[in-house]
Amino acid sequence: MQKLIVAFAFAAICCSCGNNSKTSDKSKTKGDSTFVLSGTIQGMDSGWIYLYNIQKDQEIPDSAKIEQGKFEFQGIAAEPQFAFLAFPENGERIKPLGLFLESGKMNVVASKDSLFKGKVTGSVTQDEYQKYFAKYAVIDEKQKQLYMQYQQASMTGDMKQMEKVQQDFEALEKENKELVVHFAKENPGSYASAFLVAQSFSYDADPSELEPLYKGLTADVQGSHYGKNIKATIDAANKTAIGSVAPDFTLNDVNGKPVSLASYKGKYILVDFWASWCGPCRQENPTVVKAYNAYKSKGFDILGVSLDEKKENWEKAIHQDQLTWTHVSDLKGWQSDAASLYGIKAIPMNYLLDKEGKIIAKSLRGEDLIKKLGEILN
């Protein structure tokens, strides 16, 4: 279900944009990568607004003062870059506005109470992206409804409803992927194509599905930030494809003792990526415990790989969830060496290895994990 949460966050930030004008600034000169993003916030005479450039992975966003309802940012965008505008988090949180920064002059007109619906003009890439979003809007609304259903089911502990929501979400995810594939094939020279493919195929990617899309993009789009992300995803997916030998790694356990994946050869092993802060991971843990207890006497073991950053939280979750197998982590969060090696984009995620260390299944959730173990160990 982490996929649903990731996708919903992506939709809320990136996809809830208002309709854009089809006009763009024709005064851009070749080689000039400067952008000017100006805007008007209706109903807000003064205050501050932030600009988060996702591609730069900014810890501290750029800020601009709003005076008489107007603001302006200036910067460099050698290629179209995805970013979002947001207000400081004081009082009620307003959803941000996702947009593509592009060299030249851009303008935003938005309302104080619905920033995410703002209209953006002056960006060709944004205009191209809106062609996709116009068709995605129906899927987006359904995803929002599913997210609310999942929250309600989670609060009541209704596992059957949560599983149904997961199935419905996966059907919508497939529908969206088909939409992205069509858009990318129709717009191979658009940076929006690389952005959408990178986001939509980041989790549990299939190289046979993703590689043709990447090769269909123009050379400059392949070499862009999101084009490189797609290539990295393909490379990682090839390393962890079913039938391949799982990449080896060594991390310390909770006592600081190095543990290598290679040391588990001779057993069926589940490499389980999780974290104490990941709600869906914690909800999945009882099933993983059930699988471990049922098959540990038949040559099955688990190696838990945590994406935690604080050791005390990691150890507390292990104890609370009664996870009695070996756990390792370098406490680097999403920068975990093992997570990078396996191309982990969302958790929970797992890989089932045979006795020779080959990947025979992955992303096994709920009863699918127990069913698969029953097939090979009973």
pLDDT of 147 above 90: no
User: What pLDDT, on the 0 to 100 scale, is given for residue 57?
Assistant: 67
- Whole-number pLDDT of residue 38: 97
**Tokens, residue 258:** 């190095």
Residue 22: pLDDT band by 50, 70, 90 thresholds?
Answer: very low
Q: What is the pLDDT of residues 178-226, one digit of tens each?
A: 999 999 999 999 999 999 999 888 777 888 889 999 999 999 999 999 9
Burial class (CB in 10 A: 0-12, 13-18, 19+), 100: buried
Instruction: Find how far residue 44's CA is from the centre of its chain.
Output: 32
Residue 282 and residue 248 in contact, taking contact as beta carbons nearer than 8 Å: no
CB 132: neighbour CB atoms within 10 A?
23
How much is the average pLDDT of 331-355? 93
What domains can be seen in the chain, in order of their start residue?
31-122 (2.60.40.1120), 127-239 (no CATH), 250-377 (3.40.30.10)
pLDDT exceeds cutoff 90 at 322: yes
Q: What residue type is assigned to position 287 of the chain?
A: T
pLDDT value for 153: 84
At residue 24, what are phi and psi to the nearest 5 degrees? -145, 165
pLDDT band at 152 (very low <50, low <70, confident <90, very high): confident
Instruction: Report the chain's mean pLDDT, rounded to a whole number.
Output: 88
Query: What is the distance between the alpha carbons of residues 53 and 84, in angstroms, rounded to a whole number?
Result: 7
Torsions phi, psi for 290 (to 5 deg): -60, -45
Between 302 and 151, residue with greater pLDDT? 302
φ and ψ of 251, to 5 deg: -135, 160
Mapped onto helix, strand or coil, the DSSP state of residue 63 is strand
Given CA atoms 320, 8, 287, 160 in this order, what sign does their dihedral have?
Answer: positive
Please give the average per-residue pLDDT across 302-329, as a whole number.
Answer: 97
Beta bridge partners of 301: 269
- The answer to whether 291 and 370 have CB atoms below 8 angstroms apart is yes
Q: Please enumerate in sequence order all residues whose Cβ is within 8 A of that of 266, keeping only pairs 6 or more positions apart, or say none.
A: 355
pLDDT in tens, 249-303: 999 999 999 999 999 999 999 999 999 999 889 989 999 999 999 999 999 999 9
The pLDDT assigned to 54 comes to 83
pLDDT at 171 over 60: yes
Tell me phi and psi for residue 111, to 5 degrees.
-100, 150
User: Lowest-pLDDT range, 25-39, 158-172, 264-278, 325-339?
Assistant: 25-39
* pLDDT tens, residue by residue, 9-19: 444 434 333 33
Q: What is the residue-wise DSSP string for 231-295?
A: HHHHHHHHHTSTTSBPPP-EEEBTTS-EEEGGGGTTSEEEEEEE-TT-HHHHHHHHHHHHHHHHH
Burial readout 202-213 (b: 16 or more C-beta within 10 A, e: otherwise)? bbebebeebbeb
User: What is the reported pTM?
Assistant: 0.74
> CA 214, CA 302: separation in Å to the nearest integer?
35
Place of tokens 């127990």: 370
SS3 content of the chain, % helix, strand, coil (to 5): 45, 25, 30
pLDDT tens track for 52-85: 988 876 678 899 999 999 999 999 999 999 999 9
